[in-house]
Amino acid sequence: MMKNLLKILSGREAGIFVMIILFCAAVGLYKPHFLSLNSLRIILLLVPLIMIGAMAQMLVLVARHVDLSMGSMLGFSAMVAGLMYRDMPDIWWPIGFIVAIGVGTLLGLFNGLLVTIFNLPSIIVTLGTLNLYRGLTFIISDARQINRANIPSELKAMSQTSPVFGIPWIILMSFAIAILTFYIVRYTQLGRQIFALGSNPNAAPLRGINVTKVTLIVFCISGALSGLAGIMYASRWGFVNPSNTGMGFEFQVIAAVVIGGVSINGGVGTVLGTFLGVILLGCVAAALPLLGIPGTTQSAIYGSVILIALLIDRSVRQRTTARSTRSWRKK
Amino acid sequence: MTESSENPGSEKSKLMFLVNRPESMTFILLIVALFGASMLSEYFLDVNYILKSFTLTAELSIAALVLTMVIISGEIDLSAAANIALSACVFAYVQAIGVPMSLAILAGITSGFLMGTLNAILVIRYQLPSIIVTIGTLIFYRGLAQVIAGDKSIRVPEWFIGINNKMVLGIPLPVIFFIITAIALGFILGATIYGRQIYQVGTNNTAALHAGIKSNRIKFGLFILLGVVSAACGIMAASRLGSVRYDLALGGELQMVLMAMLGGTYIFGGRGTILGTFLAAWLLVIVSTGMTVANLLPAIQLTVLGLLLIVAIIATNFIYSRAQR
Amino acid sequence: MLKKTILSAIAALTMSSGVAMSDGHSIDIVFVGKNTGNPYFDSLTQGFVEACEVIACDFEFVAPATAEATSQIPFIEAQIQRGVDVIAISPNSPDALNQVFDSARDKGIIVLTVNGDITGNEDRRDATILPTDFTKVGADQVEMVGSLIGYEGEIAILSATTEAPDQNFWIEGMNETLANDPKYSKMKLVATVYGDDQPEKSTTEMEALLANFPNLKGVIAPTTVGIAAAAQVVQSRMIADKVKVTGLGLPSEMRDFIKDGTVEGFQLWSPYNEGWLAAHFSVGLKNGSMENKVGGTFEVPNLGTITINPGNSINTQAALTTFNAANIDDFNF
C-alpha cells in the first residue's frame, strides 16, 4: 500500500516535470533563445512571489481551508512598508521586511481567528477579508501609489543580483522558503498535524491535535508569506500601487498549487509538486510573449492548463484507488 | 425547529420562527442600509434612482438566484460571470457579422448552454471539485471572450438598446425579470418535490442517493440552467450597454457569491432560500448606491462590503447553530 | 502677475454680452477619473482643485476602483442624481457610456471628456479637452528616440493595450514619420508590443524585446506604465548605454532614472494644466462667458488664448514638453 502510494506521488511530480521539459523543448524549437540563461533568468524572476504564495496556500489547502485574501494581504503589507519608506526615508531599509511580514502575520491571524472562533468557512471569511484589506489599503494610502523614488534602491537591488552567482536575492529567498516548507512538512510535528487535520478534521482532536492552534498557525503563515511577497513586490517592480499590487495574486497561486497536485479536499499535496507547478506556470508565462501570443489569448490558455491539470489529477487518483483496492482485496 | 408552544399559530412561535431565519438578518440589514444611505446623502431616497441603479447589476442578481440553487445542492459555479460575458460576446459577434437577430440570440443562449454543460460534465461525470473546475472554466471562458472580441467593443443596433429604459408600471424591465425569476425559482425550490430534493442532495449526497434521488441528474440540470440563464442575462446586458466587451461583469462571480452569502445560503449546501438572495441583491444595491451617490471613494465601499460579508456570515452561522438546538 | 491676469479675466468674463449669470450658486463640477490610485490623475485633479479655489466652482473627484469599460457608469448616474452642472470624465471606453451621457445631457448637464476622447461617439459629449495636439505626438516621439540613438539602428515600440485609440493614433503617426521623413531612413522599427498598461506585463514584454532583438538600440514607450517598466529593466541590467528608452512618462516616476542616467530624456504634457483649463472652461460655459463654438477662442489665465478646434476639441498645449536632466526637478507631478 505504502509502496503504491509513493509510486503514485512520485508519478505526479514526474508528470509535471515531464510537462515542463516538453513545453520548454517545444518552445525552444520554435524560438531557440528561450533555452538561454537569460530566459531562465526571466522565468525565475516571474516566479518568486508566486512561489512563496503557493507554499503558503499549499499548507492552507492541505489543512482543508482556502485563503482567497492573499493578494489583498500582499497589497496591504506592501503598502504599509511603502508608506514607512516614504515618510521615514532614513530608516534602515531591511526593516521593511520585518514590517511587511509582521503586518501580514497580523492580517493572517485575523483570518484565522474568524475561522476558529466563529467556526466560519474559510472561503467566505477570506472572500470578505479580500475586500476589507483591499479597501483598507486604499484608505491608508489615500489612494495614491508609492513611487519608485521612495523605494530604497538597496531593496530594488535585491531583485537584480546577489553574491551567489549573481542570482537575485528574491529568487534565493523563494527557494529557501520552498526548502523550509519541505522541512516543516516532512520533519516537524506541525507538518504532520496539518496533514492529519486536513485529511480527517473530525478525528484530529482525538489524535491529540489542537485544531485551533494548528489552524491559526496555518493562517498566520499564509499572512506572513503574503507579507513577504508584498515587500518582494516592492523590490521587483519598484513601486506599490493600491489597486494593482497583489490583485489577482490568489488566483495565480491557486492555479499553480492545483497544477502541482494539491487537493482541494485537504490532506494531499507535496512541496515538490507545488514547486514544479509554479515553475511550469512561470515557463508558460515567460514563453507566451516570446511566442508573440496576444494578451487576449493568454487567459484562455491558463484556464485550459488548469482544467487539463485537474483531469490528469483525477485520472491519477482513479488509478490509485483502483490499484490500492485491488491489492487490498488480494490480501 | 422552534420552541414548543401549545398553539402553533401563537405569536411567540411565529416570532421564534422569524428570528431563526437568516433571511430576517438580511431584511434587518436591508432596513439599516436604507436608513444609513438616506442619512449619508439627500439624493439617495428616490425610488426611480434606486430602481435605475438596480438595473446596473440586474444581470448578476438574476444569475445569483440560480447560483443559490447550485450552492444549495452542494456545488458552486464561479464561472457564471464569465459565462455572461462570453455569451454576450458570441451574441454580439454573430449579429455584427450580419446574422439576423433571432438567430444571434439563439447562438448566445446556445453558447451559455454549452458552457453550463461543460461545467456539469467536468464536475459530475469526471467528479472534479466544482470550485476548482469553475475557477478554471471562469478563466477559460473569459479568455475565449477575449479571443472573440479582442480588446474592442462590439456594438448592437440602436433599436436593440435600452431594455433598462423600458418600464412596466414605472419599474424597469430588468427589475421585472428579476422579480419574475425570483418568484418562479422560489416556487420551484420551496414548493415542489424537485426543490425538496435539491435540499436533500445538498445536505447529504450519499443519503440522497440511497433514498433513490437522482442527484447527478439534478446537479447536471442546475449547472445547465445557470448556463442558460447567464447567457440570457448577457444578452440583456448587451441591450443595456449598447455594446459588449470581454470584460463585461468582470469580478461578478464574487458579487454573486456575496449575494448568496448575504442571503443566508450555506456555502457547503443544504440551506438557503431564494428570498434570502432576493433581499441580499437589494441590500447590495442599496449599500453600493448609497455610498456612490454620497461620493464615497471605492476604498470605503470595498471596506464596507468586506465587513458586511463577515458580519453576515457570523450572523448566519449563529442563526443556524441556534436553530439546531 | 497671476493676480492681474485673474482680475482681467474676471473682468472680461463679467463684461461678456448679455447672457444671464446662473442663480448665484457656484458651479458643481465633478471629475470622474479612470480609476483610483492612478498618479497621473492626481495631477489632473490638482489642476481642477486649484482652479476652483480661484473661480466660483465646487469640485469633487470620484473614480471607480477598476478601469473597466463599464465601471464608471454607476458614478455618472450618481452625479446625474446629485444634479451637478458639469461632468468631466476620462472615459474608460469609447462607447459604453453613450446611454448615460445622453441622460446627463438631457438634464442639461455639460459633458466634457478630458485627456482622451470617445472616438466614434463625439456627438455624445459637449467638448473634449486634450493634453496636446495628438497629431504631432508620433513625430515628436520618433525625433526624440532618433536624437538619442544617432538616427540609426533598430527601434521598437512598447505600447499599452491593443485597442487604446490614442495609442494607435500615435503609433500610426510614428509609422508615417519613419516611412516618409528621410531623416529617419536609417532607423528601422522591428516590433510593436503591448504591455496592457500593466507593470508586470510591460516588464516581460520589454525583456522579450531584448531577447528577441539583440541589436535593439531604442525603445519608444508612449505610456507612463510602459516607459517606467522598460527603464527599470534597462537599469537592472545596466545596459543604458546600449539601449535607449524614451516615451511618455511622468516626471515623478522617471526622476530616479534621469538622475542615474538610465533615461536621458522623455516627453509628456501637463495634466495639471488640463484640469486647470477644464475647470475654467466649465465655469465659463455655465455662466455664458464662453461659447462652445468651433473656431472660437477663449482666455485662460496662465495658458493664454485657447482655440476650439473642429469637433469641439481643445488642446491644452501646442506640443509635447521634453523632460531631461536639466529640468526634471522643476516639476512636482
Give residue C80's pLDDT band: very low, low, confident or very high (50, 70, 90): very high
Query: What's residue B109's pLDDT?
Result: 96
User: How far is C247 from A47, CA to CA, in rounded Å?
Assistant: 29
C6 versus B118: which is more confidently predicted? B118
Residue with cell 485550459: A304
* C-alpha of B164 from chain center: 18
Q: Which three cell numbers stand for residue C165?
A: 485609440
A213 near C CB under 8 A: no
Of residues C251, C259, C248, the one with CA closest to residue C226: C248
Nearest-CA distance from A242 to chain C in Å? 6
Q: State residue A163's pLDDT score.
A: 74
Nearest to A242 by CA among C227, C36, B182: C36
Read off φ and ψ for residue C55, nearest 5 degrees. Answer: -110, 170
Q: How many CB pairs under 8 A join A and C?
A: 78
Note whether A144 and C39 are within 8 A (CB): yes
Task: Write the residue in C65, C204, C205 that is nearest to A243 by C-beta.
Answer: C65
Q: How far does Cα B66 stand from its chain's mean position? A: 6
Query: What integer pLDDT is reported at residue A320 of this predicted model?
Result: 58
With beta carbons less than 8 A apart as the criterion, state whether B162 and B153 touch.
no
C301 pLDDT tier (thresholds 50, 70, 90): confident
CB-CB under 8 Å, C37 with A138: yes
Read off the pLDDT of residues C230-240 as tens digits, 9 standing for 90 and up: 998 898 778 88
For residue B4, is pLDDT > 60?
no
Give Cα separations from A241 to A72, A85, A128, B201, B305 (angstroms). 12, 14, 21, 45, 21
Q: What is the pLDDT at residue C217? A: 93
Max mean pLDDT range (A79-88, B150-159, B309-318, C114-123): A79-88
Q: Determine the distance in angstroms separating the CA of A282 from the nearest CA of chain B, rounded to an integer.
A: 17
Instruction: Work out the percent of chain B whose per-residue pLDDT is above 90.
Output: 51
What residues of chain A lie within 8 A of the CB of B122, using their CB? 307, 310-311
What would the mean pLDDT of C278-287 be, rounded to a whole number? 89
β-pairing, C265-268 vs C244-247, is: unpaired
As a residue count, chain A comes to: 331
pLDDT at B171 over 80: yes
Which other chains touch chain A, taking contact as 3+ CB pairs less than 8 Å apart? B, C
The CA angle B159-B162-B166, to the nearest 5 degrees, is 105
The predicted-structure confidence for B231-277, as pLDDT tens digits, reads as follows: 999 999 999 988 898 888 887 888 898 899 889 898 888 889 999 99
What integer pLDDT is reported at residue C3 of this predicted model?
46
CA distance B268 to chain A (A): 9
Sheet containing strand C304-309, strands side by side: C57-62, C27-32, C86-89, C110-114, C127-132, C313-317, C304-309, C297-300
Instruction: Judge if ipTM > 0.85.
Output: no
pTM as predicted: 0.82
Report yes or no: B250 at the A interface, CB cutoff 8 Å: no
pLDDT of residue B193: 94
The better pLDDT of the pair A307, C2 is held by A307
| Across A49-63, A156-170, B142-156, C89-103, least confident range | A156-170
State the smallest CA–CA distance between residue C110 and chain A in angstroms. 27
pLDDT recorded at residue A57: 95
The pLDDT of residue B7 is: 53
pLDDT band at C14; cut points 50, 70, 90: very low
Residue C5 has pLDDT above 80, yes or no: no
Q: What is the pLDDT along chain A (331 residues), one digit of tens a residue?
A: 566 666 655 567 777 888 888 888 888 888 777 777 777 777 777 789 999 999 999 999 999 999 999 999 999 999 999 999 989 888 888 899 999 999 999 999 999 999 999 888 898 899 889 889 999 998 998 888 887 778 887 888 787 777 777 678 888 899 999 999 999 999 999 999 999 998 888 888 888 889 999 999 999 999 999 999 999 999 888 888 888 788 878 878 888 888 888 887 778 888 998 999 999 888 887 777 677 666 666 667 777 777 777 777 666 666 655 544 443 333 3
Residue C331 has a CB neighbour count (10 Å cut-off) of 16
Name the more confident of C199 and C323: C323
Beta-carbon contacts below 8 Å between B and C = 77
The reply to whether A302 touches chain C by the CB within 8 Å rule is no
What pLDDT is recorded for position A169? 86
A159 interfaces chain C, CB cutoff of 8 Å: yes
- Taking CB atoms and an 8 Å cutoff, what residues of chain A touch B126? 311, 314
Enter the C-alpha cell of residue C257. 532614472
Give the angle C278-C84-C299 at the CA atoms, nearest 5°: 25
Question: Nearest-CA neighbor of C246 among C139, C136, C142, C145?
Answer: C145
Place of cell 508569506: A225
At C255 the pLDDT is 87
Q: Which of A251, A226, A267 is nearest to A61 (CA)?
A: A267
Smallest CA–CA distance, residue A258 to chain B, in Å, is 8
Of A147-156, A253-262, B19-28, C182-191, the poorest mean pLDDT is in A147-156
Lowest pLDDT segment from A6-10, B153-157, C152-156, C313-317? A6-10
Return the higher-pLDDT residue of B298 and C219.
C219
**CA pair distance C130, C118, nearest whole angstrom:** 12
pLDDT the model gives residue B9: 56
Write B155-158 long-range contacts (CB < 8 A, 24+).
B155/B92, B155/B96, B155/B242, B155/B243, B155/C95, B156/B92, B156/B95, B156/B96, B156/B238, B156/B239, B156/B242, B156/B243, B156/B244, B157/B95, B157/B101
Q: Which residues of B touch C (CB under 8 A)?
A: 41, 43, 46, 49, 52-53, 56, 150-153, 155, 161-162, 240-243, 245, 247-248, 250-251, 288-289, 292-293, 295, 297-299, 301-302
